[in-house]
Structure 1
Amino acid sequence: MSTYDKLLSATLSHPPDPNEPLPMSNRKATIFGTIVVFLAISWLAVVFRLWVRLRVVKEIGWDDVFVVAAQSLNTAAAVVVCLSVEAGLGHHMLYLGPGKIENYLLLFWVEHCIYLGNTALIKIALLLQYLRIFKAGVMRWICIGLLVTISLWGLAFSMVGWFACFPIQGTWDRTVPAKCYGFGFGDVPGFIAAFKAHSASNMMFDILIFITPMILFRTPHLRPKNLLAMAGVFTFGAVVVTTSVWRLHGIVSTKGGTYPYADFTWWSPTIIVLSCLEVDLAIICASMPIFWPIIERSFVAIFVSYEVKVVEERVSDCGLMHELEHMKTRDRGGSVKSNGTSTRELTNDEEEIGQSRKCPYTVGFDPLDEEAKTAGLKTEIQSKPREKWQL
């Protein structure tokens, strides 16, 4: 008799109450409502992220590709989880019947393997995003080291998940004679150890990725609004880490759904929902630094006054150099782009840098002067915050 059959026999000897009321976490409305709502919010974050990268910054990157891939897999996993609810998730497995149990095990195998790969994809996306910031130095090498390690970690656990039994059909059809290990439930200790190993390592990598960019807080002359924005992003990242810790606690306390008795469909809803939320929150956290500056500038633009100033720009070698340096930005309609290691956008040094780059031939002039016939004209609209006392 297999270990799986022994557990079922032990459950049959002390069956759970078939009329036991469903906990809040096991109810269909709770599972559907939580998963669908957070999936929709994460899609909004991804769409807004892509809009900023494609229409505003006009510079798509590999981090965006991995975020889209992670969100696509996240959507597929959410659909499978909803299907598993119809297959018996949230109810006592003993009363589902052999057909429904097999269907549930198949759906759980698919959603769990997607989760194993997706946790690695979203971490890779975040690290690729960090590489936009850290262009050189020790922090860049730390990010590259984490990138390689997490890629191998995700590949290894994905292989263990997808090929937990030989033949693979033995993963969900327990009547097929198969050699299983780890997530394939060859034995109880190995099954529990596999879940604990992935959850613990996943939590560890979440913490490492969370604390890696905190060095940005050491940036000199950091502006208060950027300090608050960064603190908000890191606080949201802390929620992701907390979700990962909560999931690990659920796996340890229920021993992978086998304690106090084997009932995978009854003990798993909270763990499965937390798995989906962890990926949703990580995707939202990865997208926030991309689109938040656009939202901030949009709100600021509503509460500003404008003044017009006419200046002269003479075409010279200096002007040509200035044009080449900023051609990319002008073509983008004046969009602002973060260029990695430089933290100029976070500090108060922009005016000094701008003044040092000014062409010495750019001066004010009289538009009625004869010289205006050969000089170029430019109209600048400069914004100035409305005074607090002004109505």
Structure 2
Amino acid sequence: MATTEQPTLDSLDRGPDVDQGPALVRIIWVLLAISTVFCAARLFVKIKIARKIFWDDVFIILALVMGVMHGVCITASQKTGLGRHMYYIAANPDHLSNTLRVGFYSFAWAFLSPMAGRLSFCFFLLWVTGENPRIKRWPIYFFMVLQVVVNVASVAVMYSQCGKDLDILWTLWKIQEVPTKCWDPRIQTWWGYVSGSLNSLTDLFLTVLPAVVVSFSKLTWRSRIGLMALLCLSFLAMVASIKKTIESKVLSEWVDYTYDLIPYVIWVSVELNIVIIASTIPILRPLFKRHGLSSVMRRNVTDSRDPELAPSTSPYDKTRVRTHASSISSQEKILPARQEQFTITRTVEVSVSHGPKDRNLVHAALIGLPVD
């Protein structure tokens, strides 16, 4: 957010006093409302079927919470002028200072929210791949680490550019000190291009890997194509990330920062919400299938009607069945039937436990993917 040009009031753009702020705020909160609905549906499906939430759900909730924090910061900044030309805001130095300061705080959430969303989908893919020997899991771990490193570094670069004198960036009378106390402002744009490219690369990986996983399955090609359409939605996040990366050029410009930054903020919001929605849609598949939830629940619990005749040795079994049947001696079989009727008592005790393979079973069952 450091600048290549230090503005004076006379140098600021005196274009028409257009306010983009209200439209920006509406876009942000409409997108967040949609993401909230998707996340609520996701939690409903998980709790209904698995009776618990997993790490992918925790990270998607974090992504949504941080997205909301981004929206709160932008809304507060808009109240004091974000979306208008700086020339008109600068008439009240306190308003300009508050606009820049609160808007500056929003960058942390802008970096961390999509990171958490991508980590959620990475956890999901780790469990969907399960123990499939044809799928290497180390690339997933690599991109998870890459996401943390890149986006935490983005926060560090943004908030350390002026050392302890960060208030220089939003205090009008200190603006002239920027060249002597802050980094070259072009670093922000350069790093924006680098981090944006790596985030887009991660989205590309999260688009290709599900297609590979589905192609190895035993589903029909028609089913594979449908499943790929659900799992490869990270392509849309990649498009939004690329567009946001292009808009990063404004990070080193100051002349009309409060007005020129709006397209970048819009694409930040679009990206983080698409990441949340794209990571959630595959989980919602049972809601759109006839008897979807009940069928997944039946599939998720192995029910052996007679374990003595058909014992199960699958490592994926979650159900322990103990059957106690009364025995009939051979002597009773050859004696004539008595008037008193004897009943055969068969007691079946079923207990459902969550084993180490549960997360693989649950997530594969949710999307209709056979477990090898």
TM-score, with structure 2 as normaliser: 0.74
2:168 corresponds to which residue? 170
Classify the secondary structure of the residue corresponding to 1:294: helix
**What amino acid maps onto 1:172 in structure 2?**
W
Alignment of 1:281-360 (within 5 A): 281-298=274-291, 313-314=305-306, 316=308, 318=310, 325-327=317-319, 339=361, 345-346=368-369
Contact 1:113–1:158 (CA under 8 A) maintained in structure 2:
yes
Match 1:121 to one of 116, 119, 124: 116
Q: How does 1:115-194 map to 2 (within 5 A)?
A: 115-136=110-131, 137=133, 138-167=135-164, 168-173=166-171, 175=173, 186-194=183-191
Q: Would you say 1:210 and 2:207 are equivalent positions? A: yes
What is the aligned partner in structure 1 of residue 337 from structure 2? none
Match of 2:242 among 230, 241, 245: 245
**Which residue is 1:231 aligned to?**
228
Q: Which residue of 2 aligns with 1:53?
A: 46
Structure 2 residue corresponding to 1:90, chosen from 77, 83, 86 = 83
Instruction: Tell me which residue corresponds to 2:334.
Output: none
- Are the aligned partners of 2:203 and 2:235 in contact in 1 as well (CA < 8 Å)? no
Structure 2 distance, partners of 1:315, 1:234, is: 36
Q: Tell me the alpha carbon deviations over residues 102-142 of structure 1, each in whole angstroms, 9 at most, x when there is no partner.
A: 11111121111111222322221111111102234452111
Flag the 1:4–1:58 CA change in 2: closer, same or farther, 3 A: same
- CA shift in 2, pair 1:60/1:82, >3 Å: same
Partner SS state of residue 192, structure 2: helix
Residue 10 of structure 2 corresponds to 12
- Cα 1:40–1:195 shift into 2, 3 Å: same
Contact 1:236 1:285 (8 Å CA) reproduced: yes
Unaligned stretches of 5+ residues in structure 1: 302-311, 354-391
Q: How does 1:73-88 map to 2 (within 5 A)?
A: 73-88=66-81
Contact 1:134/1:341 (<8 A) preserved: no
Please report the TM-score for the alignment, with normalisation by the length of structure 1.
0.70
Unaligned runs of 5+ in 2: 295-303, 322-349, 353-357
Alignment length (residue pairs): 324
The offset of 1:54, in angstroms, is 1.7
Alpha-carbon distance change, 294 to 57 in structure 1, aligned in 2, over 3 angstroms: farther
Measured in 2, the distance between the counterparts of 1:235 and 1:94 equals 45
* 2:265 aligned with 1:272: yes
Change (3 A) 1:190 1:220: closer
Pairwise CA RMSD: 3.8
Deviations 1:242-299, CA, capped at 9 Å, x for gaps:
11112222234xx4362xx721111111210110111111111111111212332347
- Give the aligned partner of residue 61 of structure 2: 68
